[in-house]
Amino acid sequence: MQNATARPNRGRTGARSASNPRFSRNHGAQGRSFGGNRSQGRGNNRGRNNRGAQDIHYSRFINKVDTVEKEEVFQARFSYNELPLAEDLKQAIAKKGYTQPSPIQDAVIPHILQGKDVVGIANTGTGKTAAFLIPLIEKVRAHRGEQVLVITPTRELAMQIEDELKSLSKGMRIYSVTCVGGVNIRPQLRALRQRNDFVIGTPGRLKDLVNQHALHLEDMQTIVLDEADRMLDMGFINDMRYLMERMPQKRHTLFFSATMSPEIERVVGDFLCEPEYVSVKTRDTSKNVDQDVVHIAPSEQKIDVLCGHLEQQAYDKVLIFGRTKHGVEKLSKVLTKRGVHAVSIHGNKNNAQRMRALSDFKLGRAQVLVATDVAARGLDIPRVSHVINYDVPTTYDDYVHRIGRTGRANEKGIALTFIGNGKKVAQEGDASDRREARHQDRGRTQGRTARPQGQGSRSTGRPASRPRRDSNNGSGRVVRLA
């Protein structure tokens, strides 16, 4: 693992330029797309239904691993005991089994304790949650009345952050509320009338609560944007700006992302003040993940090939990714009918259904979890034996985050991508899948263009439709195989 490196302070002017090369050398060219950058991918396709399509060669999905490579031992600059933290917080850290800071924690915790704005670029699963929670718990303890807003792209990640917060702050009289969509809003309204040191939520529900005058952002002194690039992909850029514009000008802002796109650069330039830039991102994919493709012959049924793999003993905990909500749900039901204990997670599931599916998969009660890309970011799912891309991911970023669910903690993982012999992915789904894919692509494109609030459709003058809140609807774009 590479040591963390901190960049010098830079002002807002330097961060605004979309061509700013701060991250381009290490991150701009890797993992952005198949066969080129996003603008090139869109330019190479004609027709409304191919909007956002990117060329891809299946060789990008192949990487054979002979032996598990142990990561280089990271030497932290300090131990938790050496940090200016309260003793009970140090004891809570020790109880969780944290012996020394991870690279991202080692790099950002001192800056956060000093009250500096931070931009942290790191891979998924590197300890970002504890990296901002530990110093913010200490901050809230030292300054009672301080309130922290944490914005995250999905319900599952928001609840995972709250669970981590509760385990680190047990017995410290620190209170929190999680505000996400897909559940009854009334309990959240009641909870917001009480004291809350941390408010954790998804952009759509937080905006609804602000509009109902239940959440008062002018009282928030600290904001954390976690998985900011994922929020951008899901069309939440306007909601992110809406929330940040209503917070005090003088605030503490922490910004975490796995990638740094020009859109993210502009948000950083607009809302952060002389931030500390920290990058601990390593290679795109884990060295411990054996990656391969499964060619589906014209005479073969895709579902039959999948079931043939799942019958093998080694496939004991399998995460399968599909492109659309409809396709994921259908695949889960077909697998169940064939005797495979499968559960699914996607945007059409309510919160209780999603949490129950995740729990069954984590605890081993289900062999297979079928998911849209909602499960690819931030969620802690231990000991996943296989990741199967039943539908080809839209971008290389999506591919990296999908297969990052396996091969963790110096264990070997296997990632398989199902492809046809030159077939287009769109031909492998039914008509409803294709309609959903086109609809999702239009929503994501609207999110990236960041149309001003309240501006209607150019063609009809009607108000522009908002992306579906607090859920990930899958990538939804057509991918051509080279």
Are 153 and 467 contacting, i.e. CB atoms less than 8 angstroms apart? Answer: no
Which residue numbers in the chain have pLDDT < 70?
Answer: 1-58, 60, 65-73, 124-125, 281-286, 375-378, 409-410, 421-482
Question: How many domains is the chain built from?
Answer: 2
Question: Looking at the domain assignment, is residue 41 inside a domain?
Answer: no
- Cα angle 329-331-333, degrees, rounded to a multiple of 5: 70
Give the dihedral of Cα atoms 222, 228, 231, 232; nearest 10 deg: 120
**Is residue 207 located within the same domain as residue 327?**
no
Q: Which domain holds residue 97?
A: 5-30+76-279
**Is residue 248 located within the same domain as residue 326?**
no
Helix 237-245 / helix 203-211 crossing angle, nearest 10 deg: 40
Question: Looking at the domain assignment, is residue 459 inside a domain?
Answer: no
CATH number at residue 154: 3.40.50.300
Question: Looking at the domain assignment, is residue 161 inside a domain?
Answer: yes
Question: Looking at the domain assignment, is residue 381 inside a domain?
Answer: yes
pLDDT at 70: 52
**Rounded-to-integer distance, Cα 23 and Cα 27, Å:** 6
**Is residue 61 located within the same domain as residue 111?**
no
pLDDT digits (tens, 9 = 90+) for 22-34: 333 333 333 333 3
**Is residue 23 located within the same domain as residue 63?**
no
pLDDT at 19: 36
Are 157 and 373 contacting, i.e. CB atoms less than 8 angstroms apart? Answer: no
Question: Looking at the domain assignment, is residue 461 inside a domain?
Answer: no
pLDDT at 237: 87
Q: Give backbone dihedrals phi and psi of 346, rounded to 5 degrees, phi first.
A: -165, 180
pLDDT at 122: 83
**Is residue 366 located within the same domain as residue 320?**
yes
pLDDT at 430: 52
Measured in whole angstroms, the distance separating CA 409 from the mean position of its chain's CA atoms is: 20
**Is residue 265 located within the same domain as residue 337?**
no
**Residues in contact with 210: Cβ distance below 8 Å, sequence separation at least 6, in sequence order:** 217, 242, 243, 246
Question: Looking at the domain assignment, is residue 131 inside a domain?
Answer: yes
